[in-house]
Structure formats: structure tokens, C-alpha cells
Amino acid sequence: MIRYALSCAAGHEFEGWFGASADYDDQAERGLISCPVCDSRAVRKQIMSPSVSGAGKREKSAIAITAPQRAAMVEMMTQMRRHVEDNFDYVGPRFADEARAIHQGKAEERGIYGEATPTEVKALVEDGVPVAPMPPAELKKSEVN
């Protein structure tokens, strides 16, 4: 995945994640990228320094997350997972085929979840099929160190 710093004609700054550098160009050309603040389609990439990881020691993040913030994030992810499990259709290992069929209009439009290999997910993203990973299942106290 590639992260770009973006801004709209009104000066709102935000970021976008793309599967490949050509994906940004393709989506921008088709008017699919919009500002989350004002919905402007006049979006451009900003100059960014590259993020290069090395074998050296990692620096601590400039943004510290407190224990209450972490607990709130875990709770939100747990609620999101429960919502998906309670309201979407579980399609198991048929996820990639079913997601593609829905995207192509060959299957009923509905929310689904299931399993897919990294190769299947990459192909779905490259084909413009909207997919997202599920938050992890809630750990039982016996599974935590």
C-alpha cells in the first residue's frame, strides 16, 4: 500500500491509501477521489518525504496513545466486528468470488464477510472491488499474556 498526503482546492489536507502508485492516477482521472471535508474532486498529491524502514532502531511515535484511548479503540473495533457478524452474510472461503459477483451486479447487493487469501484480496483491490479487513476477534482473558 502507498500513502499519499493529499489536499483539495479549498486547502483541506488529508491522506489516501492506494494499492499502487498508478491507482491514484487512475482514480483521480475518473473523479473517484474526493475531499472528506468538502467533497471537492479537485484533489492533488502533496510533497512528502519517503517512509523508509531499515534494520535500525525504530523511533518512538510522535503521537502517544494513552491506555484509555487504546481501550476505546479496542471497544470500537469489537463493536464493529459484532455489527458485521450480526448484520452481514457470512460466505466463508467464497468471499472473493461473492464480493466480485456483487461488484459486477451478478449477485444480490448486500454486506458480506468471510475469508480470502492475500492474493485474492490483492486481485479484488486491483479490480476496484471495495474490501476491508475485519477487526480481530476479541481475545479471551486466558489468551492474553
Q: Which residue has the higher pLDDT, 47 or 130?
A: 130
Angle at 142 between CA 137 and CA 145, to 5 degrees: 90
pLDDT for residue 125:
92
Same domain, 71 and 31: no
User: Does some domain include residue 109?
Assistant: yes
Q: Which residue has the cell 476491508?
A: 132
Q: How many domains, in total, are found in the chain?
A: 2
Does residue 1 surpass a pLDDT of 80?
A: no
- Give the residue numbers spanning the domain of 102: 67-143
CB neighbours of residue 99 within 10 Å: 23
In a domain, 55, yes or no: no
How much is the average pLDDT of 61-77? 79
Per the model's pLDDT, the better-predicted residue between 99 and 5 turns out to be 99
- Same domain for 38 and 81, yes or no, is no
Q: Does residue 77 share a domain with residue 39?
A: no
